[in-house]
Amino acid sequence: MKTVIGFSGGKDSTLALYKIQQNPEYEVDSLLVTLTEGFGRVSIHGVRYELLKQQSESLGIPLREVWIPQGCTNEVYQERMERAVSEMRDDGVTHIVFGDIHLKDVREYRETMMTGTGITPVFPLWNRPVEEISREFIDLSFKTVITCVDMDQIDRSFAGRVYDESFIGDYPVETQDICGENGEFHSFVYDGPNFSFPIEYELGEERVSPDHVTKRDRFLYKDVIPK
């Protein structure tokens, strides 16, 4: 089954990719990524396009790029995604994989988006305990760095840290999702069992972005720079 992976470069979409790669019924065609025009970065995660291309090279899977404008409206986003889905269908794609874990509204949105397209959404991580997913990710030797934190949910000091045993030990697991499913953090995976080579990087400057509703400084981005 010819399959596209909804990909952000972060840990959950990378783990979902890995799980699908273990199933011989699926043939991974490409990584569907959303990038912001003018910034040249993965939308929301803030990862540089150059790093995303290195991920693609190391994974041996081409990118399907969807570029959206800054301050993109829902109408424009929908139009560009519909165009991308149409192109996938024309290429013979039958399935699309998402790394969602437990947010029902997000899953319902994706299922609605794919209704009538002939492309079936697949959710390989769905409803698994987040502690189990977190443990599997580390035990499989995936390596990821935190690129963005929501300072309303977790401390700014988590930005730029590697997602490992030490990270989990310091994380407020009693109150926050250890997989960041509620937007607590976003990440960039730089190595793992399905990577042919690790991606070298260094940490750059921090940037704070406001909440679009309240206009308060809320999201802290830690720049990850390719070496």
Q: How confident is the model at residue 42 (pLDDT cuts 50, 70, 90)?
A: confident
Residues of the chain above pLDDT 70, percent: 100
Please tell me the predicted confidence (pLDDT) of residue 120: 97
**In the predicted model, what is the mean pLDDT of residues 43-54?**
89
| Mean residue pLDDT across the chain | 95
Question: What's the rounded mean pLDDT across residues 100-118?
Answer: 95
Under 8 Å between Cβ of 121 and 112: no
Q: Tell the residue number behind the tokens 């009538």, with chain if given.
A: 116
Mean pLDDT of 103-122: 96
So what's the pLDDT on residue 194?
A: 98
Per-residue pLDDT at 48: 93
Give the residue-averaged pLDDT of 78-107: 96
pTM of model > 0.85: yes
Q: Which domains does the chain have, with CATH numbers?
A: 2-122 (3.40.50.620), 130-226 (no CATH)
**pLDDT tens, 161-171?**
999 999 999 99
pLDDT of residue 46: 83
Phi-psi region of 71 (alpha: psi -120 to 50; beta: other; left: phi over 0): left
pLDDT digit string, tens, across residues 166-217: 999 999 999 999 999 999 999 999 999 999 999 999 999 999 988 877 878 9
> Can you give 104-134 as a three-state secondary structure string?
HHHHHHHHHHHCCCCCEEECCCCCCCHHHHH
Radius of gyration of the chain (CA): 17
> Whole-angstrom Cα distance, residue 9 to residue 43?
11
Q: State how beta strands 27-36 and 2-6 pair.
A: parallel
